[in-house]
Amino acid sequence: MKIFLCNVSKKYETTSHDYVGLFYLAGALERAGFEPLVFHGNPENLLAEINKAKPDALGFSCDFDNTQLIAGLAKKTKDTWDIPIIIGGPQAIGLNEEFLQNSQVDYILRGEGEVSLPLLLEVILNDKGDLNAVKGLAYLKDGDYRETQPPEIIEDLDALALPAYHCSLHKNHAYGKLIFTGRGCPYQCAYCAPSPGKQKVRLRSIPLVLSEIKLNLKSNPDLSYLIIMDDTFTVNRQRIEEFCAGMREIRKERDVVWYCECHVGRIKNWMDILPTMIDAGLIRLQIGIESGDQKVIDQYNKHVDIRDVIEFVSYAADCGLTQIATNFIVGGPVEVEGATPGLIKTLMDQGPGVIDIITGFLRAYPGTQILENPEKFDLQLHDESGLLSGDDYPYVTPQGRSQDQIMKDRQELNKVIRESMQKKIKNHELKQDAVMKQFKAALTYGIRSRWFEEISANPRAYEYYYVLYLDEGQAFDAALDFARDYPQRTFELWRTMTFTQGFPILDGIALSPLEYELLFRSAGKRSLGEIESELYLKFGDPYDNQAEFHEKLVDILYQFNFKYWLTHFVI
């Protein structure tokens, strides 16, 4: 029997992701004797795909953003095909009798579905078993709302079938980027959705994880970046070391890098594991901070100390980690004024070119303390259904503050981030090695950090660093060799230079005749010594001797380099 599993969204490009959870379900269904088909794409294409496939049942993965969309699609499906419709996914714990009545969905299945979904399908399609034996189930019977026992927690993750990517309806999509090495999280952050079984950490064996990675690499020749989806990949040092040893062997045959999340409060006592992880291909590491106010962090129950965060960021940057990703929540409990902007600036100083900061509004997910007891945090909810916001407008705010004020707070915080980054770019405060790693991450592996985006927004800086990245030029250093160094502009004069006021202007700066002639001659075709001799004949009269002129020329060269106008190469 055909079972249609799908994830639909109008907000995100659903064909660009792996949706590994659906493929785990597909593997479990295939093992149970069903024929799963996986669709992830534009909802406009869904009904046509259902009509083509003629499935016996339809399953939706439901999250905070697509709940209403799924409800509408379920109604349209029921109008055309009388097939059972099942809802699962992270939002399932927040759905209830009202949703079933309004959407014409038949079943809500909560928790991990690899065991419960095959059992449910056996009951409703093959008339084998009893609905009451399916744990985590909610449904209507004769108009009455019923719930079975709490969802089952899958203890042995190694017993699960591997993701069945061959069940995808998207034959041109290459999979394998997303990897789970375990499930669950030992922490209970107030804002994090407590899905069934989340507090119980269960880990897969590392040899099995590595075997899955090898299989994915074999199936996807272009795969070069792995995303480890675990909430707490770094809970066990010995396990990290085992994983890194395996990845080092894999990287001998394939240039592949990876991402994971890290809890600073856990890893702070053995941060020296970072060089091992970087050597094994770690390119991007995410840490949770959320606020610059320690009191607010404690309210979130994060078990993180700001001092440890600062130390960790500094150490990770010094170790050569390419990217440290983090997020700050806007709209949470009232903070000490300036605490978060101040921490952001500190982190920028500790990890310039490395720390990658974004912001997000606080969300009240089902089952969270934020939703169930906002008064505890002195918060107010404006739109519990989430109908009015797609994370572009806050619906949780501190008491007494409007949504418009919180939106302005986020704008101001992003302004702090951007201005801090642009200042460091403009003032050459970034280490060249850190910038080169951002270019490699973006141009080789497709991992575009905010640093890369901000450098790209500065045309001179981008052109300058791109020349360095291609190894077509070098930055000026203290030991210029006028006999062997060949200066080279990082841009085309005709695109950038103007003479509208009767003299040369570049980037809003008026150039003196000497500056213009030096820049004009810096085409990478003559050495500095040759250019100096020529310019001394033309502009040397005001100087006491050539040595004095030489010092002036060196000063101009460093100014040009500081403005990202020049690089040089050595012959």
pLDDT tens digit sequence for 123-151: 999 999 999 999 999 999 998 999 999 99
pLDDT tens digit sequence for 239-288: 999 999 999 999 999 999 999 999 999 898 899 999 999 999 999 999 99
Residues 389 and 295 grouped into a single domain: yes
Map tokens 């040759």 to a residue: 530
pLDDT confidence bin for 193, thresholds 50/70/90: confident
Sheet holding 107-109, edge to edge: 35-41, 2-8, 57-61, 85-88, 107-109, 137-141, 144-147
Residues 132 and 193 grouped into a single domain: no
Sheet holding 323-330, edge to edge: 178-179, 225-228, 257-262, 282-287, 323-330, 355-361
CATH number of the domain bearing residue 120: 3.40.50.280
pLDDT confidence bin for 64, thresholds 50/70/90: confident
H helices of 224-353, in order, are 237-251, 264-267, 274-279, 294-299, 306-319, 339-350
Q: Supply φ then ψ for residue 390, to 5 degrees.
A: -115, 40
Residues 134 and 204 grouped into a single domain: no
For 92, the token pair is: 């399932």
Element (H, E) at 566: strand 566-570
Q: Is residue 172 part of a domain?
A: no
pLDDT tens digit sequence for 207-222: 999 999 999 999 999 9
pLDDT confidence bin for 479, thresholds 50/70/90: confident
Map tokens 């009202």 to a residue: 98
Compute the average pLDDT of residues 439-464.
Answer: 97
Cα–Cα distance for residue pair 480/526, rounded to 1 Å: 14
Lowest-confidence pick of 45-49, 86-90, 533-537 = 45-49
Cα–Cα distance for residue pair 43/77, rounded to 1 Å: 12
Given 147, 167, 200, the domain boundary residue is 147
pLDDT for res 386: 63
Asked if 425 and 450 touch (Cβ cutoff 8 Å), the reply is: no
Residues 131 and 273 grouped into a single domain: no
Residues 109 and 250 grouped into a single domain: no
Residues 449 and 501 grouped into a single domain: no
- Which positions ≥6 away from 527 have C-beta within 8 Å? 482, 483, 484, 485, 486, 571
- Cα-atom radius of gyration of the chain, to the nearest Å? 29
Residues 140 and 202 grouped into a single domain: no
Cα–Cα distance for residue pair 185/187, rounded to 1 Å: 5
pLDDT tens digit sequence for 328-361: 999 999 999 999 999 999 999 999 999 999 999 9
- Which positions ≥6 away from 184 have C-beta within 8 Å? 197, 198, 199, 200, 201, 202, 231, 232
pLDDT for res 435: 98
Residue 448 belongs to what domain range? 177-455
Residues 451 and 492 grouped into a single domain: no
Residues 223 and 107 grouped into a single domain: no
Residues 98 and 187 grouped into a single domain: no
pLDDT confidence bin for 514, thresholds 50/70/90: very high
pLDDT confidence bin for 384, thresholds 50/70/90: low
Residues 136 and 196 grouped into a single domain: no
Element (H, E) at 375: none
The whole-angstrom distance between residue 516's C-alpha and the CA centroid of its chain comes to 44
Q: Is residue 161 part of a domain?
A: no
Compute the average pLDDT of residues 64-74.
Answer: 89
Domain count, the chain: 3
Cα–Cα distance for residue pair 165/182, rounded to 1 Å: 19
Given 129, 147, 165, the domain boundary residue is 147
DSSP-derived secondary structure for 133-152: GSTTEEEEETTEEEE-SPPP
Q: Is residue 28 part of a domain?
A: yes
Lowest-confidence pick of 9-13, 103-107, 466-470 = 9-13
Residues 134 and 193 grouped into a single domain: no
Lowest-confidence pick of 14-23, 289-298, 331-340, 386-395 = 386-395
Q: Is residue 162 part of a domain?
A: no
Distances in Å between the alpha carbon of 358 and those of 349, 392, 411, 413? Answer: 16, 14, 11, 9
Compute the average pLDDT of residues 9-24.
Answer: 77
Cα–Cα distance for residue pair 410/310, rounded to 1 Å: 22
Q: Judging by DSSP bridges, how do beta strands 257-262 and 282-287 pair with one another?
A: parallel
Is 12's pLDDT higher than 70? no
Asked if 201 and 266 touch (Cβ cutoff 8 Å), the reply is: no
Cα–Cα distance for residue pair 220/243, rounded to 1 Å: 21
For 527, the token pair is: 């050495």
Distances in Å between the alpha carbon of 351 and those of 93, 324, 348, 354? Answer: 39, 8, 5, 5
